[in-house]
Amino acid sequence: MHELFPELAPFEVHLLLLSVWGYLRENSPLPQKFTFQPELGVFRRDFGRDGDLGKHLAVLHSVLHRNIHRLGLL
């Protein structure tokens, strides 16, 4: 997402940061949300259990749509 910041208006960056903060507030990175995968030797998180991601992605979608003429080449 950081690649977008230089191309956006300050209020759009503010909206994106608020949506990221809202996602993190509702889906904190607790250790209980990770499962160990022994074949890989790593812990992975299943984001499918986090509920409705659409409400957090709506702001990103709106900002991208509004600025598609500049961001389409990124």
pTM (2 decimals)?
0.72
Of 15 and 74, more confident: 15
Alpha carbon of 17 to those of 4, 38, 56: distances in Å? 12, 35, 11
Number of domains within the chain: 1
Range of the domain at 38: 5-27+34-71
pLDDT at res. 74: 63
pLDDT above 80: residue 50: no
* pLDDT-based confidence at residue 45 (cuts at 50, 70, 90): confident
Residue 52 confidence class, pLDDT cut points 50, 70, 90: confident
d(CA 58, CA 60): 5
